[in-house]
Amino acid sequence: MSALVEVEPSAWDELLGRLGCADVYLLGDYVASARLLEEGRPRFLHLEGDEGDVVFVSLVREVPSGTAYDVITPYGYGGPVATGSNPPTRQFWQLYQDWCEANGILTSFIRFHPLFANQRYAGPGVHVEPLAGTVGWRLDQRDLLATMHSSQRNACRKALREGVTVTAVQSPADLAGFASLYELTMRRLGARDFYLFSEDYWDLLATRLRDRIVLFEAGAAGEVVASALTFQTPPWLHYHLAATSDRGRTLGASNLVLYEAAVWAQQRGCERFHLGGGGGGDDDSLLSFKRRFDPGGMLECAVGKAVHDPVAYRALSGREAGDLAGFFPAYRAAGRT
């Protein structure tokens, strides 16, 4: 039987590249940025089979009692990713349970990756909880504007009539302007503190992930009124963060930003522009807004919950291992971390 091995961080990105799954949300530098949002020690796991491989990146955190650990996938999209003609997915989950027991890990919370659809091969010990879905705008459509919902198409045309222009900035020198507009946007929306990112977070994106970033900026009368921070890891472009001023909202600038980003990605051979889903994975107004760019582009989305030590979980949370409804793991519900 093959062994589940821990990969040194310095060798991780090279391994992903060799296996053909070097998506931004799996890369070491992205994981470093995610650590600034949710604390944890990165662990990079690899199972090599005769006809395929499985890779998994996680953050290992100390539980509130300080007596054990749990696993969470970095903010965004992740989970075990399988490659090859016949990857050892069943064996991975067996060995992962052994690895968790050996390392004192009580639970795992997994944000699966919609474009890899890896929730479909989750192990029998993982409770897969479907979310409302995400939008993967299909870029093989010849006329992207024509296939959009009429409300989005009209908003884009309004922005153009109002003189809004969109510029693509690859590998931006800094993100100070975007960060300022983003914070104003989050405060206007009443977003949780989690989404008010630190200066260290912006600095890390601007340095270690700079070459992956494309910033799309909508300008009107010399002012940036809307912007989208995206990650390019072909064959996909990921819509990561967005910012819009009050003026930009009235002009339809955010609609035009996403349309122009899709055209940019299409021209460079990308297959999908991944817009993501609604807030907290819900079917809300945000998801409705995104879905109207490509009504047929919905992708399955899910999270996974696993209890590796039922006795310890019951002692910490007062709940049985099979009671996984609501916030997970339950012993973190009070602090919501």
pLDDT confidence of residue 67 = 86
> Is the domain covering 135-299 a CATH 3.40.630.30 domain?
yes
Residue 145: its H or E element: helix 144-147
* Residue reference for tokens 């001023």: 245
Contact between 126 and 251 under an 8 Å Cβ cutoff? The reply is: no
pLDDT confidence of residue 280 = 84
d(CA 123, CA 230): 32
pLDDT confidence of residue 25 = 98
d(CA 229, CA 256): 14
Q: Is the pLDDT of residue 232 over 60?
A: yes
Q: What is the pLDDT of residues 7-43, one digit of tens each?
A: 999 999 999 999 999 999 999 999 999 999 999 999 9
Q: What is the pLDDT of residues 299-326, one digit of tens each?
A: 999 999 999 999 999 999 999 988 999 9
pLDDT confidence of residue 336 = 59
Q: Which numeric CATH code is attached to 4-131+301-332?
A: 3.40.630.30
Residues of the chain with CATH 3.40.630.30: 4-131+301-332, 135-299
Segment 239-253 mean pLDDT = 96
Q: What is the mean pLDDT of the chain?
A: 95
Q: Count the Cβ atoms, other than its own, within 10 Å of residue 40.
A: 20
Structure tokens at 287: 């998801």
d(CA 304, CA 328): 10
* Residue reference for tokens 């030590």: 309
β pairing state of 272-277 and 236-244:
parallel
pTM summary value? 0.94
pLDDT confidence of residue 12 = 98
Q: What is the pLDDT of residues 132-148, one digit of tens each?
A: 999 999 999 889 999 99
pLDDT confidence of residue 281 = 85
pLDDT band at 337 (very low <50, low <70, confident <90, very high): low
SS3 13: helix
Residue 172: its H or E element: none
Q: What is the pLDDT of residues 42-97, one digit of tens each?
A: 999 999 999 999 999 999 999 988 889 999 999 999 999 999 999 999 999 999 99
